[in-house]
Amino acid sequence: MKVLNFGSLNLDYVYRVEHFVQPGETLSAMSQAVNPGGKGLNQSIALAKAGAVVSHAGCLGLGGEALGELLQKSGVDTGFLHFTDSIQGNAVIQVNAEGQNCILLFGGSNHCVTDTQVTETLAHFAEGDYLVLQNEINHLPLIVDEAYRRGMKIVLNPSPYNEKLRAVDFGKLHWLLVNEVEAAQLSGSKEPEAAWRKLHEQYPRLNLLVTLGSEGSVAFTVKGTVRQAAFPVKAVDTTAAGDTFTGYFIAGLMEGRSLQDCMRRASMASAISVTRTGAATSIPEREEVEKALEGRT
C-alpha cells in the first residue's frame, strides 16, 4: 500500500509579533525567518517521519529548489514533482505572543498543476493506495475524480476553506479531516456531532475527523465515535500542528492501527510540534512520539 500526497509547497515568511497587525496599523516584527512549509509539504514530511512510504506530487517554482531537497532529505519520493517558471507558492505568517498564527497565502507555482500531470501521476497508483489532498493546489476536482476511478482511498483536509471546494465531489472521499471552523463551514453546524450527522446523510461513505485544539479530537465513522484528549503543552508556535496530526493519523491508518491509537499518536505528534518554531521543521520523529507516549493513557 502506497500513499501519494498531491499538494502544496510554500516558502513561509514568518514574522513574530506582539499581536496580529490591525487594519490601518503599521507594526514592527520582533523577528523574521524564511521556513519550508505548505500544508502539502508539511503533511508529506509528517507521513515520512511517522514511517509511511510517501510520494509527493505538485509544482516547484522559482526560488523553491530547497523545498524539493528537504522533501528528499526527509525520505519523501519527489519523482512526481514538476518544475514551473512561476514564483514559488508562499505564505506570510504572523505568530503572536501566544504562539497562535494567521496566514496569508499566495498560490504561485502551486496553481500550475496541469491535467496531464494529474493523469500521468495517478496512473502509478492503484486500488487501496491512499491519496492525501489539501486545498492549496488547482485541479482538486479532477484529482479526486481520477483517484476515485482508480479505487484510491482519498483523504481531504479542505484547508483553506473556500468556494472552490464546491466543485469537489465529497461523496468520493474516504476521510475528511477538518478543524471545528471548517466543520461548521462545510455543514452549517457548529457542533461536531451535528456536523457529522449532516455530512453522513449527504455522503454515506465519508468518515469525519474533527480536531478541536486544546479539546483534542473526535472521529465519526459508521462504527461509532472515538474521542481523544489533547496532550497539554506550552505552545510556542502552532503552525503545522494540524498538518503533523494529519500525517501521523494517516500513517497510523495505513499500518492498520485502531482509530483510537491513530488519534493518540497524531495528538502527541501534534502536541510536540507546537512546542517548536516553524512548520516542517517542527514535526517530530516517530521514535520521539513513541517515547513521549510511553506510560501515558
Q: Please name the residues in contact with 186: beta carbons below 8 A apart, sequence gap of 6 or more.
A: 158, 161, 165, 176, 178, 195, 199
Q: How far is the CB of 123 from ligand RIB (least distance, A)?
A: 27
Best CA proximity match to 124, nearest among 55, 28, 216, 188 = 55
* 241, 146 Cβ separation under 8 angstroms: no
- How deeply is 72 buried, as exposed, middle or buried, from its count of CB atoms within 10 A (0-12, 13-18, 19+)? middle
**Helical spans, DSSP H, in the chain:** 39-49, 65-73, 115-122, 140-149, 180-187, 192-202, 241-254, 259-273, 286-293
Q: How far is the CB of 279 from ligand RIB (least distance, A)?
A: 3
243 is catalytic: yes
Looking at the Cβ atoms of 123 and 181, the one nearer to ligand RIB is 181
Give the cell for residue 214: 486544546
Backbone angles phi, psi at 45, to 5 degrees: -65, -40
Looking at the Cβ atoms of 34 and 126, the one nearer to ligand RIB is 34
Looking at the Cβ atoms of 84 and 239, the one nearer to ligand RIB is 239
Pairing of strands 90-95, 101-106: antiparallel
Cα 84–chain centre separation: 23
Of all helices (H) and strands (E), which one includes residue 225?
A: strand 224-228
**Residue of minimal Cβ distance to ligand RIB:** 37
Looking at the Cβ atoms of 12 and 129, the one nearer to ligand RIB is 12
Looking at the Cβ atoms of 146 and 281, the one nearer to ligand RIB is 281
Cα 218–chain centre separation: 17
Using only C-alpha atoms, the chain has a radius of gyration, in whole angstroms, of 18
- Number of neighbours of residue 30 by Cβ within 10 angstroms: 11
Return residues touching ligand RIB (CB under 6 A): 8, 10, 12, 37-39, 42, 91, 103, 136, 239-240, 242-243, 279
Q: How far is the CB of 240 from ligand RIB (least distance, A)?
A: 5
Give the cell for residue 148: 476515485
Q: How far is the CB of 68 from ligand RIB (least distance, A)?
A: 15
Cα 117–chain centre separation: 21
| Type of residue at 78 | T
Measure the CA–CA gap between 11 and 22, rounded to whole angstroms: 24
Catalytic residue among 145, 169, 243, 261: 243
Looking at the Cβ atoms of 158 and 259, the one nearer to ligand RIB is 158
The residue with cell 455543514 is 187
Q: How far is the CB of 54 from ligand RIB (least distance, A)?
A: 17
Q: How far is the CB of 136 from ligand RIB (least distance, A)?
A: 6
The residues carrying an active-site annotation are: 243
